[in-house]
Amino acid sequence: MARVYIETTIPSAYWEERTAPEMVARRNWTRRWWDVERSHYEVVTSVAVLDELSRGNHPKRQEKMAMLDSVKKLGIDESVIEIVEVYLIHKVMPSDPQGDALHLALASLHKCDMLLTWNCQHLANANKVGHIQRVNTRMGLMVPQLITPLELLHEDLS
């Protein structure tokens, strides 16, 4: 069973309230994956995701956090921090060590097959894949697929 790391944008998209067509589409695809397809995968997340969701005053904060209650949480240790530092040195990710670099490090170190995200600027971005592959390969790390829920839907969307 493939292991999927759930990043912060997934619970956020599930509980999205904006009505712009692209936000409604993301919410619907995320809900369809979470409610129907998720059972086909080993789903994991991290305390970093819970920390991000707990910050600030945003709609449905408790619901976003609660949906991860039964999901296994990956730990953050010195190895993860060292990987984050390498990502920052090599400009794989922006310099926010609590954000995207941390999620990628966790998914890579814990051998996740996929990192599920709606962050298409820094993570699910085809222009970054080669750079991530080179840096992870040098460190002897697995390179998770960086994908959106839409890419994991098995049903016909036409």
Determine the structural domain holding residue 133 and report its residue range: 3-152
pLDDT at 158: 53
- Is 46 a domain residue? yes
pTM score, two decimals? 0.93
Q: Please, what is the Cα angle at 99 between 97 and 101, to 5 degrees? A: 65
Please report whether residue 158 resides in a domain: no
Domain count, the chain: 1
CATH of the domain at 57: 3.40.50.1010
How far is the CA of 74 from the CAs of 16, 21, 111, 135, in angstroms? Answer: 25, 34, 11, 22
Residue 157 counted as domain residue = no
Q: What does the pLDDT profile of the chain (158 residues) look like in tens digits?
A: 999 999 999 999 999 999 999 999 999 999 999 999 999 999 999 999 999 999 988 999 999 999 999 999 999 999 999 999 999 999 888 776 568 999 999 999 999 999 999 988 878 888 888 899 999 999 999 999 999 999 999 865 45
